[in-house]
Chain A
């Protein structure tokens, strides 16, 4: 990342050549959470992204599409994006929509 500055996650930057930013998902991903989520994800564009889904208790359709859109966007940008620490509720929620966790995560990145 050419424009990457060591401001938010210095320790990570120190360990990895490419810097990954972390977005922590809120517990309730409903209609109200969709717009902030999109904004938050967009703010991270251009960086590697780790999405922390450990706290998620409920997943709604609009946040799902935000995450899915982020996944294809990052893929198109050829940057890794991964969901980490997915809670069981998050996995179940995805399953309910017919989406697998793996779909949202760049497999190589997590390895």
Chain B
């Protein structure tokens, strides 16, 4: 990949982050908890996208982002009230912007009408839309007044006194406009390899320009931070360009400098103004105030002696164009007067620093993966070493053994830290959902509110990437199938607006994500009828409510009476379940008629390591995930009861629990093992059901590195993955849920056979 493409890719990645920020910010404002900083963040997001797009000449993107940004700027400046109407349009604009970013990235085309329409809607909110049209020719009296009103909000007093311009000729021609620009670079500007000199040159290229360097903050040399920034440049620019073209120059440094741009609307400098005359006047005016200045200097020197040197450089007036006269013309700037320029710079700097998040780096995922893989190997290696030491028969208290213990702890810590690199809050996925909800709600004509919870729950990046699709599907389903239309809801005595609740939490080493709705719940008779219709179940099958609910996970099942655009895309809940299972996760459903349904996904936090119990079954070493195990027990002869078809139950504290013979289930042996010779593991499956699994012996607990079986071989039912043990042998990791499910299916078949 060439460098440009790589940078572009980074840009698009950052765009995604900005878009997420934008959307969550807008939502927060809509819900009324947006403070000034939220509005700023939203503005910044659009602004950054625009800036980056500009660098790559992505004109469509720039154009739309600019209109959006303009509207946000009004919101930021308080010229627009954050009304729900406005925010809804802005939310749609943010959706459109996201589409535009993606379309640009994938180089696909989008219908321009949609953006034109949205842009028009945004512009309609613009209190001073005329101002943005940019053509200098239409600067009329009324517009000038509007500009004035606008500028009042952002106007900062600058060094040059109004009086300097008082005597200036004001020719009738209105075309050239006079801007006073105060530009104070921050150290970050230089650190990012921008150069004030180039920016100043760009400004002077716009028209006639005079630059004054305010060095009042400059300290003596020993106190100078060589890479700091203490100079402020005061620019008076007479140009035919509009304010936006001036701002464009500072586009990429806007956050790295203090920038005030104010237009002198009262005193428009005309074509006829000779810039050297202006310079002369400026100088005359400055000279006239010299006395006052020197007095001020004396005062400040006699006073508290500020740390910064007060002796000022005399500003040289610079002409943007031809003559060299300006070089020599020296006046004397007035520190006392320049003071009001600084609106407590120290304070604002501090505030800016406080806003900055901690520094972070962007690392190629591949590198992290390699690191994780290597740490995995380290864990295995460490286990092997421990095994060797054990085999050598070294004493437990020997130096080698204790050293090895320390190594083990260290290894574990390294592993945890490396995993933490990959851990990300589920926020990145949750953030995509509000838009989905809006779209689906609009398509179905339902009123929906999405409530999210636990967005900061962290989970491995690979898991995050792979839950987005199933989650999208589940939310679509919840709205399309779960929620009723508003009138039906009202008739049922519910609020018109349906609620979809999306939550994430950590539970016993797994992440649990729930999607619940307050809709009608699963229509069980209909589900059963459809399943029977499609030949998925026998028409007269007696099924529990739970079993009926789970029918929707069967391949080829679709409840939608009319195939809708949203859910009926040929992928059903079976696909959802399969993709979750592929992650080592489980999905379950609880539904109450009239009250809604809850889909619960439980996923491993990481796909790389697992705490497991190492057991032997039929001469094979297996690993049972520790998270599934509740307790272990030695079966007693009185507790084990056998019934038809070889199925057995075990009584554990007066409760009968199915006893599953793992060896038989996996086909290691044909007959039931003797329960008295083995150990039972009480396991809990996703639904909360308890089962006992019979194994031959327990070897111990160990953290194992997961090696995918699918990637290296193929999926094996009942087996989740594989690992390498300390002795170098491969051990299979049991998929407890699958084993329990298959054993139940087996016993059902046996029972049916026995009954039939």
Interface residues of A (CB under 8 A from B): 30-31, 34-35, 37-39, 41-42, 45, 58-62, 64-66, 68-73, 75-76, 91, 93-103
Which residues of chain A are within 8 angstroms of B226 by Cβ–Cβ distance?
34-35, 37-39, 62, 66
Mask, B231-252, CB within 8 Å of A = 1, is 1011100000000000000000
Which residues of chain A are within 8 angstroms of B222 by Cβ–Cβ distance?
42, 45, 73
B229 at the interface (CB under 8 A from A): yes
**CA A66 to CA B316, docked complex, whole Å:** 18
Which residue of chain A lies nearest to B189 when distances are taken between CB atoms in the complex?
A: A61
The 5 closest A-B pairs by CB, nearest first: A98-B211, A100-B316, A61-B196, A98-B213, A38-B226
B220 at the interface (CB under 8 A from A): yes
Which residues of chain A are within 8 angstroms of B212 by Cβ–Cβ distance?
98
Which of B224, B228, B230, B315 is within 8 Å of A98, CB to CB?
A: B315
Q: What would 17 more interface pairs be, CB under 8 Å, given A34-B226, A61-B190, A97-B211?
A: A35-B227, A39-B226, A45-B222, A62-B190, A65-B229, A68-B218, A68-B231, A73-B221, A73-B222, A76-B220, A95-B316, A95-B326, A96-B211, A98-B234, A98-B318, A100-B329, A103-B314
Which residues of chain A are within 8 angstroms of B313 by Cβ–Cβ distance?
68, 71-72, 99, 103
**CA A30 to CA B227, docked complex, whole Å:** 10
B311 at the interface (CB under 8 A from A): yes
**CA A103 to CA B220, docked complex, whole Å:** 15
Closest-CB distance, A62 to chain B (whole angstroms)? 5
Closest-CB distance, B283 to chain A (whole angstroms)? 12
**CA A59 to CA B191, docked complex, whole Å:** 16
Q: CB distance A38 to B224 under 8 Å?
A: yes
Q: CB distance A103 to B311 under 8 Å?
A: no
B371 at the interface (CB under 8 A from A): no
Which residues of chain B are within 8 angstroms of A102 by Cβ–Cβ distance?
328, 330
Mask, B320-350, CB within 8 Å of A = 1, is 0000001111100000000000000000000
**CA A70 to CA B235, docked complex, whole Å:** 24
Which of A38, A41, A98 is within 8 Å of B316, CB to CB?
A: A98
Interchain pairs with CB closer than 8 A, number: 126
Which residue of chain B lies nearest to A30 when distances are taken between CB atoms in the complex?
A: B195
Q: CB distance B221 to A70 under 8 Å?
A: yes
Which residues of chain A are within 8 angstroms of B185 by Cβ–Cβ distance?
61
Which residue of chain A lies nearest to B329 when distances are taken between CB atoms in the complex?
A: A100
Which residues of chain B are within 8 angstroms of A72 by Cβ–Cβ distance?
215, 218, 220, 309, 311, 313
Which residues of chain A are within 8 angstroms of B330 by Cβ–Cβ distance?
100, 102-103
Which residue of chain B lies nearest to A64 when distances are taken between CB atoms in the complex?
A: B231
Closest-CB distance, B658 to chain A (whole angstroms)? 72
Q: Which chain B residues (173-222) contact chain A, with CB distance < 8 Å?
A: 185, 190-191, 193, 195-197, 200-201, 204, 210-213, 215, 218-222
Most buried by B among A37, A69, A95: A69
**CA A68 to CA B193, docked complex, whole Å:** 21
Which residue of chain A lies nearest to B192 when distances are taken between CB atoms in the complex?
A: A31
Which of A59, A75, A101 is within 8 Å of B197, CB to CB?
A: A59
Which residues of chain B are within 8 angstroms of A96 by Cβ–Cβ distance?
197, 200-201, 204, 211, 318
**CA A42 to CA B219, docked complex, whole Å:** 13
Which of A30, A35, A45, A100 is within 8 Å of B221, CB to CB?
A: A45
Q: CB distance B197 to A66 under 8 Å?
A: no
Which residue of chain A lies nearest to B223 when distances are taken between CB atoms in the complex?
A: A69
Q: CB distance B191 to A31 under 8 Å?
A: yes
Q: CB distance B221 to A42 under 8 Å?
A: yes
Which of B204, B231, B314 is within 8 Å of A65, CB to CB?
A: B231
Which residue of chain A lies nearest to B233 when distances are taken between CB atoms in the complex?
A: A98
* 10 A-B pairs with C-beta separation under 8 A: A31-B191, A35-B226, A38-B224, A45-B221, A62-B190, A95-B326, A99-B313, A100-B314, A100-B328, A101-B327
Most buried by A among B185, B213, B318: B213
Which residues of chain A are within 8 angstroms of B215 by Cβ–Cβ distance?
65, 68, 72
Which of A61, A65, A91 is within 8 Å of B224, CB to CB?
A: A65
**CA A64 to CA B210, docked complex, whole Å:** 18
Q: CB distance A97 to B326 under 8 Å?
A: no
Q: CB distance A97 to B220 under 8 Å?
A: no
Which residue of chain B lies nearest to A77 when distances are taken between CB atoms in the complex?
A: B220
Which of A58, A69, A93 is within 8 Å of B220, CB to CB?
A: A69
**CA A70 to CA B221, docked complex, whole Å:** 5
Which of A62, A95, A100, A103 is within 8 Å of B227, CB to CB?
A: A62
Closest-CB distance, A19 to chain B (whole angstroms)? 19
Which residues of chain B are within 8 angstroms of A93 by Cβ–Cβ distance?
197
Q: CB distance B191 to A69 under 8 Å?
A: no
**CA A30 to CA B235, docked complex, whole Å:** 22
**CA A93 to CA B318, docked complex, whole Å:** 11
Which residues of chain B are within 8 angstroms of A101 by Cβ–Cβ distance?
327
Q: CB distance B227 to A31 under 8 Å?
A: yes
Which residues of chain A are within 8 angstroms of B314 by Cβ–Cβ distance?
100, 103
Which of B197, B201, B231, B327 is within 8 Å of A100, CB to CB?
A: B327
Q: CB distance A69 to B233 under 8 Å?
A: no
Which residue of chain B lies nearest to A62 when distances are taken between CB atoms in the complex?
A: B190
Which residues of chain A are within 8 angstroms of B233 by Cβ–Cβ distance?
97-98
Which residues of chain B are within 8 angstroms of A37 by Cβ–Cβ distance?
226
**CA A76 to CA B309, docked complex, whole Å:** 9
Q: CB distance B316 to A69 under 8 Å?
A: no
Which residues of chain A are within 8 angstroms of B195 by Cβ–Cβ distance?
30-31, 60-61
Which residues of chain B are within 8 angstroms of A64 by Cβ–Cβ distance?
231
Which residues of chain A are within 8 angstroms of B211 by Cβ–Cβ distance?
96-98
Q: CB distance A69 to B196 under 8 Å?
A: no
Closest-CB distance, B238 to chain A (whole angstroms)? 15
Which residue of chain A lies nearest to B215 when distances are taken between CB atoms in the complex?
A: A68
**CA A33 to CA B318, docked complex, whole Å:** 25
**CA A30 to CA B309, docked complex, whole Å:** 24
Q: CB distance A61 to B231 under 8 Å?
A: yes
Which residues of chain B are within 8 angstroms of A75 by Cβ–Cβ distance?
311
Q: CB distance A66 to B309 under 8 Å?
A: no
Which residue of chain B lies nearest to A59 when distances are taken between CB atoms in the complex?
A: B197
Q: CB distance B200 to A69 under 8 Å?
A: no
Q: CB distance B218 to A69 under 8 Å?
A: yes
Given A59-B197, A76-B220, is A95 in contact with B229 using a C-beta cutoff of 8 Å? no
Mask, B155-179, CB within 8 Å of A = 1, is 0000000000000000000000000
Q: CB distance A66 to B221 under 8 Å?
A: yes
Which residue of chain A lies nearest to B319 when distances are taken between CB atoms in the complex?
A: A95
Which residues of chain A are within 8 angstroms of B228 by Cβ–Cβ distance?
62, 65
**CA A58 to CA B89, docked complex, whole Å:** 49
Q: CB distance A41 to B221 under 8 Å?
A: yes
Q: CB distance A65 to B221 under 8 Å?
A: no
Which of B196, B221, B327 is within 8 Å of A60, CB to CB?
A: B196
Which of B224, B231, B318 is within 8 Å of A95, CB to CB?
A: B318
Closest-CB distance, B38 to chain A (whole angstroms)? 33
Which residue of chain A lies nearest to B219 when distances are taken between CB atoms in the complex?
A: A69
Mask, B298-315, CB within 8 Å of A = 1, is 000000000001010111
Q: CB distance B197 to A99 under 8 Å?
A: no
Q: CB distance A103 to B224 under 8 Å?
A: no
**CA A97 to CA B197, docked complex, whole Å:** 7
Q: CB distance B190 to A69 under 8 Å?
A: no
Which residues of chain B are within 8 angstroms of A73 by Cβ–Cβ distance?
220-222, 309
**CA A64 to CA B316, docked complex, whole Å:** 14
Which residues of chain A are within 8 angstroms of B200 by Cβ–Cβ distance?
96-98
Most buried by B among A41, A75, A96: A96
Which residues of chain A are within 8 angstroms of B196 by Cβ–Cβ distance?
60-61, 97
**CA A97 to CA B196, docked complex, whole Å:** 8
Closest-CB distance, A30 to chain B (whole angstroms)? 7
Which residue of chain B lies nearest to A61 when distances are taken between CB atoms in the complex?
A: B196
Closest-CB distance, B282 to chain A (whole angstroms)? 12
**CA A10 to CA B84, docked complex, whole Å:** 80
Q: CB distance B227 to A34 under 8 Å?
A: yes
Which residue of chain A lies nearest to B211 when distances are taken between CB atoms in the complex?
A: A98
